[in-house]
Chain A
Amino acid sequence: MSTAAVTDKRPSSLRGASLPKWSPWAIAAGSVVVAVAIGLIGGLSSKIQWGLIAAILFVLGTYGIAARVEGRRQAKDRVATSLVWVAFLLAVIPLVSLVWTTVSRGVKVLDVYFLTHSMGVVADSEPGGGIYHAIIGSLEQVGLATVIGAPVGILTAIYLVEYGRGKLAKSVTFFVDVMTGIPSIVAGLFILSLMLIFEMQPFGFAGSLALAILMMPVVVRSTEEMLKLVPNELREASLALGVPKWRTILKVVLPTSIGGITTGVMLAIARIAGETAPVLLLVFGNPFINNNPFEGAQASLPLYIYQQYAQSAGANAAYDRAWAASLTLIAFVMILNLVARGIARWKAPKTGR
């Protein structure tokens, strides 16, 4: 179909024949039509199969046509291009589906009542109830984890960038790298082993400790990157005026990089806010409101989602609540992310270009 178009406009003898710009779209449309036809005739029920057939036809068709008109190498190039596009579109489907389902099913029961009531007197399979207790638990646990994790992380980064030389700094750097990879459940098991030794019952602060362990390496890494961006001239200028090193760090280095550090801490908070496994082991979950993180089991948003899913034996009311809680959690995490990135852009690193 396209050979005619090609022979019409061949611009110069230096360029080989090439397919017109619309040809990928034409081949794509053609392969979709053929795939639908095959699907209907062959009686294939699954839309996924239709999609797969269309994709295969598209790749084969592109290669065949391009190889005839433009030559082997161009054909390979076109196939690679279409494969890259197909991979991208394939990957987008689940991700879009995830966001779409969470939003569309989450808004069903998400209202002020849902946000301000607990599950105290509501059976898991009944409609009603809310996530107030889980929000309280999440905020307290994540807040306490941040209070512990962020200062330790920032101070460690300061040590590594401003003071660190020699063996200690090297081993800290190495173990920070290793620590970023610890699965959250292992951090939970570590605190659990301590609780077993001291014979303690689950309580919110134990979860905070595990979350703090997960948070520290992330904060160290991002703060380190930010401190390295601070121009050395600033430090030298301050030191040359006779300002002690610690005041230089507090008054010159940190203010210069505060935007980036805040971003890093917020991203770390967003990450630990969604952790379920350590909370499941250490805080245990509780349908009632418990405002005291230091005594008694608490709830938390991610744990609430898991328990609504796992303990409700397939009741629709519980699934609705799980989706609504997911939407709340995602919204919280996304807002943190967006604000953090906003701060990063607003306080862009002041390097002398």
Chain B
Amino acid sequence: MDISTKTTDAPPPTPQPGVTEQKRNARGASRPGDRIFLGLSRGSGILLLVIMAAIAVFLTYRASLAISKDHGNFLTTFEWNTNLTPPTFGIAVLAYGTVISSIIAMVIAVPVAVAIALFLTHYAPRRLSGPIAYVIDLLAAVPSIVYGLWGALILVPHMTGLYGWLNDYLGWTGLFSWDEGAPRAMLTVGILLAIMILPIITNVSREVFRQVPRMHEEAALALGATRWEVVRMAVLPFGRSGVISASMLGLGRALGETMAVATVLSPDYVIHLSLLNPGGGTFAQNIASKFGEATEQGRDALIASGLVLFVITLLVNGAARAIIARRKEYSGANA
């Protein structure tokens, strides 16, 4: 008796949970404070969407202005002369340079980063691995312009020996022939980009390797596996998708990197087969170097090339996110 009166008098008296939920929401939303707060937070979510849409729309608009005046073919012309009266420009050289430098960076950075991540999670003495991981975290925060300055003033002079050696022994391939210029070429750019994206790939891979179920490793050990066999049979298969998405995040950075490439590369609007001869350019580098002297027409052309870069990075990051989404636990967005 006592109990039943209490239940009927209680403020949310309805027995069905679905209905309670609805009522509470309805009452919550009707309070002015709640409505304002919901409006504000939903508004900023919508603002983000609007910004993304605006980026796409405005870049496309200015790019279409430029491309409609372009005398050459935007995709295949090997020239960037935006000051001619019918301007002639195309992104072929930039696309090539962007892809090549990123490929070099990935070829170097991914194996090394995976090795470092393994080192930190499975090989290093425990007392060392904590501080090292911390330092690598901090290195991810070093601004790209500092990497650029270091690359141009320290790395470039140190590359001469390597370039000569590659030219002597691998010059016959054509890829590594060198005409004794300053080593401000795609290979140096690739190496610098590799150094720059190393921390982020390492960080994300490390998080993944750390989540390998302890049981898998112990099972392998119990069967008599060596440490390397544990890594190969338990750790790497578990972490594969994570490593792939980490690499894609790194690739996204390498594709869009501006200042480090602009300081190191000596640009030239040609495509060399050799990776050691100065020349070529990347989308981002070209924008930074050509911007100062560009007229409004030239700026529109640069915006057009930026639009291409935007689309490429969207695709790469989209793919990385799709892979991550399959395993929700390790999002690399904060790394």
Using CB atoms, name the residue of chain A closest to B146: A326
Interface centre among A85, A183, A197 (most CB of B within 10 A): A183
Complex Cα distance, B31 from A242, in Å, reads 12
Q: A152-B44, A183-B258 are in contact. Are A84 and B333 (CB under 8 A)?
A: no
Q: Which residues of B contact A151 (CB under 8 A)?
A: 44
Q: Mark B292-321, 1 if CB is under 8 A from A, else 0.
A: 000010011011001001100110111011
Chain B residues whose CB sits within 8 angstroms of the CB of A247 once the complex forms: 33
B41 touching A184 by the CB < 8 A rule? no
Known contacts A101-B153, A187-B55, A245-B37; 6 additional CB pairs below 8 A are A46-B164, A87-B111, A156-B48, A274-B142, A309-B149, A334-B141
Asked if A87 and B195 make an inter-chain contact with CB atoms under 8 angstroms apart, the answer reads no
User: Which of B71-79, B88-96, B222-230, B273-281 participates in binding chain A?
Assistant: B222-230
Interface size on B, residues (CB 8 A): 96
Q: Which residue of A lies closest to B159 (CB)?
A: A48
Pick out which of these stretches binds chain B: A109-117, A159-167, A291-299.
A159-167
Residues in chain A near residue B42, CB distance under 8 A: 159, 163, 168
Closest to B296 in A: A196
User: Does chain B have a CB within 8 A of A17?
Assistant: no
Known interface pairs A77-B229, A277-B259, A277-B288; A221-B334 also in contact (CB < 8 Å): yes
Instruction: Check if B333 sits within 8 Å of A221, measured CB to CB.
Output: yes
Contact of B142 among A159, A194, A330 (CB under 8 A): A330
Q: Are A181 and B249 touching (Cβ within 8 A)?
A: yes
Residues of chain A within 8 A (CB-CB) of B145 are 274, 276, 302, 305-306, 326, 329
Q: Which of A214-272 contact B (CB under 8 A)?
A: 216-218, 220-222, 225, 239, 242, 244-247, 249-250, 264, 267, 270-271
The complex places the Cα of A153 from the Cα of B164 at a distance, in Å, of 50
A102 to B147 CA separation, bound complex (whole angstroms): 10
The answer to whether B141 and A333 touch across the interface, beta carbons within 8 angstroms, is yes
Q: How far is the CA of A162 from the CA of B41 in the complex (A)?
A: 10
B141 x A276 contact (CB < 8 A): no
Interface centre among B31, B37, B145, B321 (most CB of A within 10 A): B145
On whether A156 and B138 interact (CB within 8 A), knowing A88-B116, A277-B259, the answer reads: no
Contact with B along A301-331 (1 / 0, CB 8 A): 0100110011000000001001100100110
Contacts of A193 in B (CB 8 A): 58-59, 61-62, 303
Shortest distance from the beta carbon of A92 to any chain B beta carbon, whole Å: 9
Whether the pair A85, B123 counts as a contact (CB closer than 8 A) is yes
Asked whether, in the complex, the Cβ of A281 is within 8 Å of the Cβ of B291, the reply is yes
16 contacts between A and B (CB under 8 A): A46-B162, A80-B228, A87-B111, A98-B146, A102-B146, A155-B40, A175-B48, A181-B316, A183-B258, A183-B310, A192-B299, A271-B141, A277-B287, A306-B148, A330-B142, A337-B137
Closest A residue to B11 by beta carbon equals A242
Pair B314/A181 contact, Cβ less than 8 Å: yes
Those of A177-192 within 8 Å (CB) of chain B: 177-187, 189-190, 192
In the bound complex, CA of A53 to CA of B168 (Å):
16
Shortest C-beta distance, B40 to chain A (Å), equals 6
Tell me, yes or no, whether A36 is within 8 Å of chain B by CB.
no
Q: Is the CB of B116 within 8 A of A87?
A: yes
Distance to closest chain B CB from A296 (angstroms): 17
Chain B residues in 8 Å Cβ range of A249: 37
* Contact bitstring B50-68, A, C-beta under 8 A = 1, else 0: 0110110011011000000
- Chain A residues with CB under 8 Å of B183's CB are none
The reply on B150 being an interface residue by CB < 8 A is yes
On whether the beta carbons of B37 and A175 are closer than 8 Å, the reply is no
CB distance from A306 to the nearest CB of B (A): 6
Residues of A within 8 A of B252 (CB): 181, 183
Q: Which of A81, A152, A267, A276 contacts B123 (CB 8 A)?
A: A81
* Structural contact, A178 and B317, CB atoms closer than 8 A: yes
Is B45's CB under 8 angstroms from A159's CB? yes
How far apart are the CA atoms of A189 and B306 in the complex, in Å? 7
A190–B45 touching, CB < 8 Å: no
Nearest-Cβ distance from residue B53 to partner chain A, whole angstroms: 9
- Indicate if A7 sits at the interface (CB-CB under 8 A): no
Whole-angstrom distance between the alpha carbons of A49 and B166 in the complex?
11
Task: Decide: A185 near B144, CB < 8 A? Known: A101-B154, A193-B61.
Answer: no
> With an 8 A cutoff between CB atoms, is B36 at the interface?
yes
- Closest Cβ of chain B to A162, distance in Å, is 7
Q: Which residues of A contact B149 (CB under 8 A)?
A: 305, 309, 322-323, 326
**Docked-complex contact A190 and B58, CB < 8 angstroms:** yes
Alpha-carbon separation in the docked complex, A329 to B153 (Å): 18
CB contacts (< 8 Å) of A79 on chain B: these are 228
Lowest 4 CB-CB distances: which A-B pairs, in order?
Answer: A274-B143, A183-B256, A46-B161, A181-B317
Bound CA span A322–B151, Å? 13
Cβ 8 A contact of B143, one of A97, A273, A323: A273
- Closest-by-CB residue of A relative to B158 is A48
What's the minimum C-beta distance from B11 to chain A, rounded to whole angstroms? Answer: 8
Contact flag A182-B226 (CB < 8 Å), given A84-B123, A171-B49, A330-B146: no
Residue A83 at the chain B interface, CB threshold 8 Å: yes
Q: Is A158 part of the contact surface with B, judged by Cβ < 8 Å? A: yes
Q: Are A245 and B61 in contact (CB under 8 A)?
A: no
Interface mask (A91-135 → B, CB under 8 Å = 1, otherwise 0): 100110110011000000000000000000000000000000000
B residues within 8 A CB of A85?
A: 119, 123
| A260: min CB distance to chain B, Å | 11
